[in-house]
């Protein structure tokens, strides 16, 4: 089937999409945006978090066909050209990146959290990121990054 959608502001018209395909596969293999990650492909790890019409979702749980006519924003769409988004900058500055496989999903999840709540407290941060697994950092420096990004925005 054909899927028309907008990804990071660019219209994409994709032919030959199969019914079994996820939005994650479409983004990674057809659009050529592998930033959204494939750590579990069953909605448990959050590494594929993207915005679908403004809502943060696991791209692995969305059938490619469901995304027809939607506007998708991925981690690759957050920076302004060479200029990192403040959330991305905070991850770099806080040392919140190790292997980096969870990072794109967490960057989108934190972007989403701070858009809803400019100055989240610790319980709110923990709850908001509970769907994003990280195996390297123990999350501490990720919390630091959230606080840093929120603080800089004040």
Partner 1 sequence: MTTTLHATERQGVGESARRPDAVSKVRGDFAFSSDLWHDRMVWGATVRSPHPHARLLSIDPAGALELPGVHAVLTAADVPGHNRYGLERRDQPVLAEDRVRYIGEPVAVVAADTPELARRAAALVRVSYAELPALTDPETALTGPVLHEGGNLVKHLRIRRGTVAEADVVVTGEYEVGMQDQAFLGPESCLAVPGEDAGVDLYCSTQWLHVDQDQLAECLALPKDRVRLTLAGVGGAFGGREDLSVQAHACLLALRLGRPVKMSYGREESFAGHVHRHPARMRYEHGATRDGKLLYVKADILLDGGAYASTSAAVTGNAGCFATGPYEVPAVEVDCRSVYTNNPPAGAMRGFGAVQVCFGHESQMDRLAAALGMDPVELRLRNAVGTGSVMATGQRVEGPAPVAELLRRVAAKPLPPPPGELLPGGTSNSTRAEGLRRGVGYGVSVKNICKSAGYDDFGTARVRVFAHDGEVFAEVHTAAAEVGQGLVTVQAQIARTELALERVTVLPADTAVGDAGTSSASRQTWMSGGAVRAACAAVRARLLERAAALLGEPVEALAYGGEASAAAAVSTASGRAVTLADLLAAADVDETAVFRHRRTRALDPETGQGDAHVAYAFAAHRAVVDVDPELGSVRVVEIACAQDVGKAINPAAVEGQMHGGIAQGLGLALMEEVLVRDGRILNPSFTDYLIPTTMDMPPTVLDILELPRPDSPYGLTGVGEPPLLSAPAAVAAAIRDAIGGALDRIPATPEAVARAANRFP
Could you list the residues that contact partner 1 (CB under 8 A)? Answer: 18, 20-21, 25, 28-29, 32-42, 44-45, 47, 74-76, 78-79, 84, 88-89, 91-93, 95, 97-104, 107, 123, 125-127, 129-143
Backbone angles phi, psi at 83, to 5 degrees: -80, 120
Q: For residues 134 and 150, which CB has a smaller minimum distance to partner 1 in the complex?
A: 134
Q: How far is the CB of 107 from partner 1 (least distance, A)?
A: 6
Give the span between the Cα atoms of 149 and 71, in whole angstroms. 25
The continuous run of DSSP H or E covering 50 comes out as strand 49-52
Q: For residues 14 and 133, which CB has a smaller minimum distance to partner 1 in the complex?
A: 133
* The token pair that represents 63 in the structure block: 């059938």
* The token pair that represents 42 in the structure block: 């069953």
β-bridge partners, 72: 7, 52
Q: How far is the CB of 48 from partner 1 (least distance, A)?
A: 11
Give the span between the Cα atoms of 108 and 88, in whole angstroms. 9
Q: For residues 71 and 84, which CB has a smaller minimum distance to partner 1 in the complex?
A: 84
Q: For residues 18 and 69, which CB has a smaller minimum distance to partner 1 in the complex?
A: 18
Q: Map tokens 């490619």 to a residue.
A: 64
Q: For residues 6 and 93, which CB has a smaller minimum distance to partner 1 in the complex?
A: 93
> Does residue 144 sit in helix, strand or coil?
helix
Q: How far is the CB of 83 from partner 1 (least distance, A)?
A: 11
Q: How far is the CB of 123 from partner 1 (least distance, A)?
A: 6
């Amino acid at each position: 089937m054909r899927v028309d959608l907008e990804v990071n502001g660019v219209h994409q018209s994709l032919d030959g999409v199969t019914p079994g395909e996820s939005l994650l596969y479409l983004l990674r293999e057809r659009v050529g945006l592998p930033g959204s990650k494939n750590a579990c492909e069953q909605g448990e790890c959050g590494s594929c978090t993207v915005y679908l019409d403004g809502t943060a979702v696991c791209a692995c749980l969305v059938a490619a066909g469901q995304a027809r006519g939607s506007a998708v924003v991925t981690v690759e769409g957050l920076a302004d050209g060479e200029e990192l988004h403040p959330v991305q900058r905070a991850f770099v500055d806080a040392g919140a990146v190790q292997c980096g496989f969870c990072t794109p999903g967490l960057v989108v999840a934190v972007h989403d959290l701070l858009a809803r709540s400019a100055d989240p407290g610790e319980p709110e941060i923990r709850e908001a990121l509970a769907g994003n697994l990280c195996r390297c950092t123990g999350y501490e420096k990720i919390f630091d990054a959230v606080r840093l990004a929120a603080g800089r925005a004040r």
